[in-house]
Chains A and B, each alone.
Chain A
Amino acid sequence: MMDVQLAERQAELEVLRYNPEIAGEPKFERYSVPCKTEWCVLDALNYLKDNVDPTLTYRWSCHMQVCGSCGMMINGEPKLACKAMLRDYPGVIRIEPLAHFPVERDLVAVADDFIAKLKRVKPYLIPSDKRSLEEGEYRQTPAQLKRYRQFAMCINCMLCYAACPEYGLHPKFIGPAAISLAHRYNRDSRDGGRDERQEELATNEGVWECTFVGACSEVCPKHVDPAAALQQVKVASTVDWYLEHFMSWVKK
Protein backbone atom coordinates (compact mmCIF):
# COMPACT_ATOMS: atom_id res chain seq x y z
CA MET A 1 0.00 0.00 0.00
CA MET A 2 1.25 3.44 -0.83
CA ASP A 3 2.19 5.39 2.25
CA VAL A 4 0.41 8.73 2.04
CA GLN A 5 2.39 11.54 3.61
CA LEU A 6 0.07 13.90 5.41
CA ALA A 7 1.19 17.42 6.15
CA GLU A 8 2.08 18.18 9.75
CA ARG A 9 0.74 20.94 11.90
CA GLN A 10 1.47 22.04 15.43
CA ALA A 11 -2.05 22.52 16.87
CA GLU A 12 -2.49 24.84 19.83
CA LEU A 13 -5.16 23.50 22.17
CA GLU A 14 -6.71 25.23 25.18
CA VAL A 15 -8.42 22.54 27.18
CA LEU A 16 -10.63 23.17 30.21
CA ARG A 17 -9.38 21.01 33.07
CA TYR A 18 -11.34 20.21 36.20
CA ASN A 19 -10.37 17.80 38.92
CA PRO A 20 -13.30 17.11 41.27
CA GLU A 21 -10.91 15.91 43.97
CA ILE A 22 -9.16 19.28 44.17
CA ALA A 23 -11.18 22.27 45.29
CA GLY A 24 -11.43 25.15 42.88
CA GLU A 25 -12.74 26.24 39.52
CA PRO A 26 -11.97 24.58 36.18
CA LYS A 27 -8.96 26.15 34.45
CA PHE A 28 -7.75 26.24 30.86
CA GLU A 29 -4.46 24.46 30.14
CA ARG A 30 -2.54 25.20 26.95
CA TYR A 31 -1.00 22.37 24.92
CA SER A 32 0.96 22.33 21.68
CA VAL A 33 0.23 19.07 19.87
CA PRO A 34 2.01 17.73 16.75
CA CYS A 35 -0.87 16.78 14.44
CA LYS A 36 -1.56 15.74 10.88
CA THR A 37 -3.57 18.33 9.02
CA GLU A 38 -6.30 15.80 8.24
CA TRP A 39 -6.88 14.89 11.87
CA CYS A 40 -10.02 15.75 13.80
CA VAL A 41 -10.03 17.36 17.23
CA LEU A 42 -10.58 13.93 18.83
CA ASP A 43 -7.32 12.70 17.23
CA ALA A 44 -5.49 15.63 18.78
CA LEU A 45 -7.00 14.85 22.20
CA ASN A 46 -6.04 11.19 21.84
CA TYR A 47 -2.46 12.20 21.01
CA LEU A 48 -2.47 14.48 24.03
CA LYS A 49 -3.69 11.72 26.35
CA ASP A 50 -1.32 9.09 24.95
CA ASN A 51 1.81 11.24 24.84
CA VAL A 52 1.52 14.28 27.07
CA ASP A 53 -0.98 13.94 29.92
CA PRO A 54 -2.65 10.56 30.58
CA THR A 55 -4.90 12.13 33.23
CA LEU A 56 -6.87 14.08 30.60
CA THR A 57 -10.45 12.77 30.78
CA TYR A 58 -13.05 12.80 27.98
CA ARG A 59 -15.63 10.46 26.49
CA TRP A 60 -15.32 8.88 23.09
CA SER A 61 -15.98 5.55 21.46
CA CYS A 62 -16.63 5.13 17.75
CA HIS A 63 -14.61 7.93 16.11
CA MET A 64 -17.15 7.96 13.26
CA GLN A 65 -20.08 10.17 14.29
CA VAL A 66 -22.32 7.32 15.35
CA CYS A 67 -21.97 6.81 19.11
CA GLY A 68 -22.58 10.40 20.20
CA SER A 69 -20.06 10.24 23.07
CA CYS A 70 -17.49 12.90 22.17
CA GLY A 71 -19.72 15.99 22.24
CA MET A 72 -17.85 19.04 23.55
CA MET A 73 -17.64 22.79 23.07
CA ILE A 74 -15.07 23.59 20.39
CA ASN A 75 -14.43 27.31 20.10
CA GLY A 76 -17.73 27.89 21.88
CA GLU A 77 -19.79 25.72 19.53
CA PRO A 78 -21.25 22.31 20.48
CA LYS A 79 -19.53 19.74 18.23
CA LEU A 80 -18.67 16.08 18.04
CA ALA A 81 -14.87 16.05 18.46
CA CYS A 82 -14.70 13.33 15.80
CA LYS A 83 -16.57 15.52 13.31
CA ALA A 84 -14.62 18.72 14.03
CA MET A 85 -11.73 18.67 11.54
CA LEU A 86 -8.54 20.50 12.48
CA ARG A 87 -8.38 22.10 9.01
CA ASP A 88 -11.51 24.10 9.94
CA TYR A 89 -9.80 25.56 13.02
CA PRO A 90 -6.74 27.52 11.92
CA GLY A 91 -6.02 29.30 15.23
CA VAL A 92 -5.96 28.23 18.87
CA ILE A 93 -8.64 25.61 19.50
CA ARG A 94 -10.52 26.11 22.77
CA ILE A 95 -12.12 22.92 24.08
CA GLU A 96 -14.64 22.79 26.95
CA PRO A 97 -17.18 20.27 28.21
CA LEU A 98 -20.70 20.63 26.75
CA ALA A 99 -22.32 23.84 27.97
CA HIS A 100 -25.36 23.79 30.31
CA PHE A 101 -24.31 20.52 31.92
CA PRO A 102 -22.30 20.23 35.16
CA VAL A 103 -18.68 19.16 34.69
CA GLU A 104 -17.82 15.71 36.02
CA ARG A 105 -14.09 15.95 35.25
CA ASP A 106 -12.13 17.75 32.50
CA LEU A 107 -14.22 17.40 29.31
CA VAL A 108 -16.80 14.99 30.72
CA ALA A 109 -20.26 16.49 31.19
CA VAL A 110 -22.72 15.03 33.70
CA ALA A 111 -25.40 13.36 31.58
CA ASP A 112 -27.67 12.19 34.46
CA ASP A 113 -30.30 14.89 33.85
CA PHE A 114 -30.67 14.04 30.17
CA ILE A 115 -30.88 10.29 30.84
CA ALA A 116 -33.60 10.85 33.47
CA LYS A 117 -35.62 13.00 31.05
CA LEU A 118 -35.21 10.49 28.26
CA LYS A 119 -36.78 7.82 30.51
CA ARG A 120 -39.69 10.12 31.41
CA VAL A 121 -40.85 10.54 27.78
CA LYS A 122 -40.94 6.75 27.12
CA PRO A 123 -38.93 6.71 23.89
CA TYR A 124 -39.80 3.17 22.95
CA LEU A 125 -42.58 1.43 21.09
CA ILE A 126 -45.82 1.13 23.06
CA PRO A 127 -47.78 -1.05 20.62
CA SER A 128 -51.31 0.06 19.81
CA ASP A 129 -52.36 -3.55 19.37
CA LYS A 130 -50.13 -6.08 21.03
CA ARG A 131 -49.30 -9.01 18.80
CA SER A 132 -48.26 -12.44 19.93
CA LEU A 133 -45.10 -13.97 18.46
CA GLU A 134 -47.25 -16.31 16.34
CA GLU A 135 -48.93 -13.33 14.70
CA GLY A 136 -45.59 -12.24 13.32
CA GLU A 137 -43.86 -8.90 12.98
CA TYR A 138 -45.37 -5.43 12.84
CA ARG A 139 -45.37 -4.35 9.23
CA GLN A 140 -44.84 -0.84 7.95
CA THR A 141 -44.88 0.81 4.53
CA PRO A 142 -42.02 3.05 3.33
CA ALA A 143 -44.39 6.02 3.63
CA GLN A 144 -45.10 5.13 7.28
CA LEU A 145 -41.34 4.84 7.90
CA LYS A 146 -40.76 8.22 6.30
CA ARG A 147 -43.09 9.85 8.86
CA TYR A 148 -40.61 9.36 11.73
CA ARG A 149 -37.28 8.26 10.23
CA GLN A 150 -35.62 11.66 10.48
CA PHE A 151 -36.30 11.83 14.25
CA ALA A 152 -35.02 8.28 14.72
CA MET A 153 -31.54 9.45 13.62
CA CYS A 154 -30.86 10.98 17.07
CA ILE A 155 -27.70 9.57 18.69
CA ASN A 156 -28.24 11.16 22.14
CA CYS A 157 -25.07 13.26 21.82
CA MET A 158 -26.67 16.16 23.76
CA LEU A 159 -25.22 18.85 21.47
CA CYS A 160 -28.75 20.29 21.19
CA TYR A 161 -28.95 20.75 24.97
CA ALA A 162 -25.60 22.56 24.95
CA ALA A 163 -26.94 24.84 22.19
CA CYS A 164 -30.40 25.47 23.71
CA PRO A 165 -30.45 28.69 25.76
CA GLU A 166 -33.82 27.71 27.24
CA TYR A 167 -32.26 24.58 28.74
CA GLY A 168 -29.34 26.65 30.03
CA LEU A 169 -31.70 29.09 31.76
CA HIS A 170 -34.38 26.59 32.83
CA PRO A 171 -32.74 23.20 33.42
CA LYS A 172 -36.16 21.63 34.13
CA PHE A 173 -36.97 21.88 30.40
CA ILE A 174 -37.23 18.33 29.03
CA GLY A 175 -35.27 19.58 26.05
CA PRO A 176 -34.80 19.00 22.30
CA ALA A 177 -33.51 15.43 21.98
CA ALA A 178 -35.87 13.78 24.49
CA ILE A 179 -38.93 15.49 22.98
CA SER A 180 -37.78 14.66 19.43
CA LEU A 181 -37.43 11.00 20.37
CA ALA A 182 -40.88 11.00 22.00
CA HIS A 183 -42.21 12.57 18.80
CA ARG A 184 -40.47 9.87 16.79
CA TYR A 185 -42.58 7.20 18.52
CA ASN A 186 -45.75 9.33 18.40
CA ARG A 187 -45.41 9.38 14.62
CA ASP A 188 -44.82 5.63 14.35
CA SER A 189 -47.80 3.78 12.83
CA ARG A 190 -47.26 0.84 15.21
CA ASP A 191 -47.34 2.99 18.34
CA GLY A 192 -50.24 3.80 20.64
CA GLY A 193 -48.42 5.54 23.50
CA ARG A 194 -49.00 9.19 22.61
CA ASP A 195 -51.46 9.89 25.46
CA GLU A 196 -48.89 8.63 28.01
CA ARG A 197 -46.13 10.77 26.48
CA GLN A 198 -48.33 13.87 26.31
CA GLU A 199 -48.42 13.82 30.14
CA GLU A 200 -44.77 14.89 29.99
CA LEU A 201 -44.64 16.69 26.65
CA ALA A 202 -47.68 19.00 26.72
CA THR A 203 -46.55 20.79 29.87
CA ASN A 204 -44.60 23.90 30.86
CA GLU A 205 -41.48 21.81 31.44
CA GLY A 206 -42.16 20.05 28.17
CA VAL A 207 -42.69 21.56 24.79
CA TRP A 208 -44.06 24.91 26.05
CA GLU A 209 -40.68 25.87 27.52
CA CYS A 210 -39.39 25.98 23.94
CA THR A 211 -39.41 29.44 22.34
CA PHE A 212 -38.14 28.22 18.95
CA VAL A 213 -34.64 29.66 19.08
CA GLY A 214 -33.73 26.92 16.59
CA ALA A 215 -30.15 26.51 17.84
CA CYS A 216 -30.73 22.77 18.46
CA SER A 217 -31.33 22.13 14.77
CA GLU A 218 -28.32 24.21 13.72
CA VAL A 219 -25.90 22.12 15.79
CA CYS A 220 -27.46 18.66 15.34
CA PRO A 221 -24.80 16.44 13.68
CA LYS A 222 -27.42 13.98 12.36
CA HIS A 223 -29.89 16.50 10.87
CA VAL A 224 -32.67 15.39 13.17
CA ASP A 225 -34.05 18.94 13.25
CA PRO A 226 -35.29 18.84 16.86
CA ALA A 227 -36.77 22.34 16.51
CA ALA A 228 -39.13 20.97 13.87
CA ALA A 229 -40.14 18.09 16.15
CA LEU A 230 -40.93 20.47 19.00
CA GLN A 231 -43.02 22.80 16.84
CA GLN A 232 -44.96 19.78 15.53
CA VAL A 233 -45.64 18.66 19.10
CA LYS A 234 -46.85 22.19 19.89
CA VAL A 235 -49.23 22.20 16.92
CA ALA A 236 -50.59 18.75 17.82
CA SER A 237 -50.99 19.71 21.50
CA THR A 238 -52.86 22.87 20.52
CA VAL A 239 -55.19 20.87 18.28
CA ASP A 240 -55.78 18.49 21.25
CA TRP A 241 -56.74 21.45 23.44
CA TYR A 242 -59.22 22.86 20.94
CA LEU A 243 -60.77 19.46 20.33
CA GLU A 244 -61.12 18.90 24.06
CA HIS A 245 -62.59 22.31 24.90
CA PHE A 246 -64.67 23.26 21.88
CA MET A 247 -65.30 20.10 19.91
CA SER A 248 -65.50 17.42 22.56
CA TRP A 249 -67.89 15.44 20.36
CA VAL A 250 -65.07 14.83 17.88
CA LYS A 251 -63.10 11.74 18.78
CA LYS A 252 -59.34 12.14 18.67
Chain B
Amino acid sequence: MSRNPYVREVSPTTWFFRMPRYMRYMAREVTSIFIGIFTVIMLVGLARLSEGQVEYENFLAALRSPVSLVFLLLALAFALYNSFTWFNVAPKAMPIQVGEELMPDMVVAGSHYVLWVILSVFVLFWAGVF
Protein backbone atom coordinates (compact mmCIF):
# COMPACT_ATOMS: atom_id res chain seq x y z
CA MET B 1 0.00 0.00 0.00
CA SER B 2 1.45 3.35 -0.96
CA ARG B 3 1.22 6.45 1.13
CA ASN B 4 -0.63 9.48 -0.10
CA PRO B 5 -0.68 12.03 2.73
CA TYR B 6 -3.14 14.90 2.40
CA VAL B 7 -1.75 18.35 3.25
CA ARG B 8 -4.14 20.94 4.69
CA GLU B 9 -2.85 24.40 3.81
CA VAL B 10 -2.70 27.13 6.47
CA SER B 11 -3.78 30.54 5.18
CA PRO B 12 -0.91 33.00 5.74
CA THR B 13 -3.34 35.94 5.94
CA THR B 14 -6.33 34.68 7.91
CA TRP B 15 -4.89 32.00 10.25
CA PHE B 16 -5.36 34.09 13.39
CA PHE B 17 -9.14 34.24 13.01
CA ARG B 18 -9.31 30.51 13.77
CA MET B 19 -8.91 30.82 17.56
CA PRO B 20 -9.43 33.51 20.22
CA ARG B 21 -5.93 32.86 21.60
CA TYR B 22 -4.42 33.69 18.19
CA MET B 23 -6.46 36.91 18.14
CA ARG B 24 -5.14 37.85 21.59
CA TYR B 25 -1.60 37.22 20.37
CA MET B 26 -2.11 39.37 17.27
CA ALA B 27 -3.63 42.14 19.43
CA ARG B 28 -0.44 42.21 21.50
CA GLU B 29 1.69 42.27 18.34
CA VAL B 30 -0.35 45.15 16.86
CA THR B 31 0.29 47.26 19.98
CA SER B 32 3.97 47.38 19.02
CA ILE B 33 3.10 49.19 15.76
CA PHE B 34 1.77 52.09 17.84
CA ILE B 35 4.83 52.02 20.07
CA GLY B 36 6.98 52.07 16.92
CA ILE B 37 5.12 55.11 15.51
CA PHE B 38 5.51 56.89 18.87
CA THR B 39 9.26 56.24 18.77
CA VAL B 40 9.45 57.77 15.27
CA ILE B 41 7.55 60.85 16.57
CA MET B 42 10.13 61.19 19.36
CA LEU B 43 12.97 61.01 16.82
CA VAL B 44 11.26 63.69 14.70
CA GLY B 45 11.04 65.80 17.90
CA LEU B 46 14.79 65.41 18.41
CA ALA B 47 15.44 66.46 14.82
CA ARG B 48 13.22 69.57 15.25
CA LEU B 49 15.04 70.41 18.48
CA SER B 50 18.33 70.40 16.62
CA GLU B 51 16.85 72.84 14.08
CA GLY B 52 16.18 75.51 16.66
CA GLN B 53 13.57 76.83 19.08
CA VAL B 54 10.91 77.86 16.54
CA GLU B 55 10.90 74.48 14.87
CA TYR B 56 10.68 72.76 18.24
CA GLU B 57 7.79 74.98 19.42
CA ASN B 58 5.92 74.10 16.21
CA PHE B 59 6.53 70.42 16.89
CA LEU B 60 5.15 70.76 20.44
CA ALA B 61 2.09 72.59 19.10
CA ALA B 62 1.50 69.79 16.61
CA LEU B 63 1.64 67.27 19.47
CA ARG B 64 -1.25 69.14 21.14
CA SER B 65 -3.59 68.79 18.16
CA PRO B 66 -6.68 66.63 18.82
CA VAL B 67 -5.59 63.92 16.36
CA SER B 68 -2.20 63.76 18.03
CA LEU B 69 -3.72 63.60 21.53
CA VAL B 70 -6.00 60.74 20.53
CA PHE B 71 -3.03 58.89 19.04
CA LEU B 72 -0.84 59.51 22.10
CA LEU B 73 -3.54 58.24 24.45
CA LEU B 74 -4.00 55.13 22.31
CA ALA B 75 -0.24 54.57 22.15
CA LEU B 76 0.00 54.95 25.93
CA ALA B 77 -2.81 52.44 26.50
CA PHE B 78 -1.22 49.96 24.09
CA ALA B 79 2.24 50.46 25.59
CA LEU B 80 0.82 49.71 29.04
CA TYR B 81 -1.00 46.62 27.73
CA ASN B 82 2.18 45.43 26.02
CA SER B 83 4.28 46.04 29.14
CA PHE B 84 1.85 44.35 31.54
CA THR B 85 1.43 41.24 29.37
CA TRP B 86 5.20 41.11 28.89
CA PHE B 87 6.11 41.47 32.56
CA ASN B 88 3.50 38.89 33.52
CA VAL B 89 5.21 36.23 31.39
CA ALA B 90 8.71 37.11 32.61
CA PRO B 91 8.66 34.27 35.20
CA LYS B 92 8.46 31.81 32.29
CA ALA B 93 11.61 33.13 30.65
CA MET B 94 13.56 33.69 33.88
CA PRO B 95 12.61 31.11 36.48
CA ILE B 96 14.70 31.49 39.63
CA GLN B 97 15.21 28.32 41.60
CA VAL B 98 16.20 28.55 45.24
CA GLY B 99 17.08 25.12 46.61
CA GLU B 100 14.28 22.80 45.56
CA GLU B 101 11.66 25.51 45.09
CA LEU B 102 11.00 28.02 42.34
CA MET B 103 10.58 31.63 43.40
CA PRO B 104 6.89 32.56 43.17
CA ASP B 105 5.88 34.18 39.85
CA MET B 106 4.78 37.24 41.82
CA VAL B 107 8.34 37.89 42.98
CA VAL B 108 9.89 37.61 39.49
CA ALA B 109 7.17 39.63 37.76
CA GLY B 110 6.95 42.02 40.71
CA SER B 111 10.66 42.87 40.54
CA HIS B 112 10.14 43.89 36.90
CA TYR B 113 7.32 46.24 37.94
CA VAL B 114 9.45 47.73 40.72
CA LEU B 115 12.36 48.31 38.33
CA TRP B 116 9.94 49.84 35.83
CA VAL B 117 8.62 52.34 38.41
CA ILE B 118 12.14 53.26 39.58
CA LEU B 119 13.33 53.86 35.99
CA SER B 120 10.18 55.86 35.16
CA VAL B 121 10.62 58.08 38.22
CA PHE B 122 14.27 58.58 37.26
CA VAL B 123 13.38 59.58 33.69
CA LEU B 124 10.62 61.93 34.89
CA PHE B 125 13.02 63.47 37.43
CA TRP B 126 15.67 63.86 34.74
CA ALA B 127 13.10 65.51 32.44
CA GLY B 128 12.40 68.05 35.18
CA VAL B 129 8.84 66.98 36.02
CA PHE B 130 9.47 67.10 39.78
**In the bound complex, CA of A159 to CA of B128 (Å):** 53
Chain A 97-109, CB-CB to B under 8 Å as 1, else 0, gives 0011011100000
Partner of A228, one of B1, B21, B95: B95
Partner of B8, one of A99, A169, A232: A99
**In the bound complex, CA of A78 to CA of B95 (Å):** 27
Interface check B5, CB cutoff 8 A: yes
- The reply to whether A215 and B8 form a contact with Cβ atoms under 8 Å apart is no
**In the bound complex, CA of A18 to CA of B12 (Å):** 24
Chain A 102-118, CB-CB to B under 8 Å as 1, else 0, gives 11100000100000000
**In the bound complex, CA of A155 to CA of B10 (Å):** 26
Within 8 A of B (CB), among A122-153: 142-143, 146-147
Interface check B100, CB cutoff 8 A: yes
Interface check A234, CB cutoff 8 A: yes
Interface residues on chain B, number (Cβ under 8 Å)? 28
User: B4 to chain A: which residues have CB within 8 Å?
Assistant: 20-21
- The reply to whether B6 and A103 form a contact with Cβ atoms under 8 Å apart is yes
In the complex where A18-B6, A146-B97, A168-B10 touch, is A76 in contact with B92 (Cβ < 8 A)?
no
- The reply to whether A20 and B3 form a contact with Cβ atoms under 8 Å apart is yes
**In the bound complex, CA of A18 to CA of B6 (Å):** 8
Partner of A100, one of B5, B10, B29, B94: B10
In the complex where A143-B99, A218-B21, A231-B92 touch, is A25 in contact with B15 (Cβ < 8 A)?
no
- The reply to whether B18 and A147 form a contact with Cβ atoms under 8 Å apart is no
Chain A interface bracket (under 10, 10 to 19, 20 to 34, 35 or more): 20 to 34
User: B18 to chain A: which residues have CB within 8 Å?
Assistant: 76
- The reply to whether A142 and B100 form a contact with Cβ atoms under 8 Å apart is yes
- The reply to whether A147 and B21 form a contact with Cβ atoms under 8 Å apart is no
Interface check B19, CB cutoff 8 A: yes
29 pairs of residues in contact across A and B, judged by CB atoms under 8 Å: A20-B2, A20-B4, A20-B5, A25-B6, A26-B8, A76-B18, A77-B19, A102-B5, A102-B6, A102-B7, A103-B8, A104-B3, A110-B5, A143-B99, A146-B102, A147-B97, A165-B25, A168-B10, A168-B15, A211-B29, A214-B25, A215-B19, A215-B25, A217-B92, A225-B92, A227-B92, A228-B92, A231-B92, A234-B93
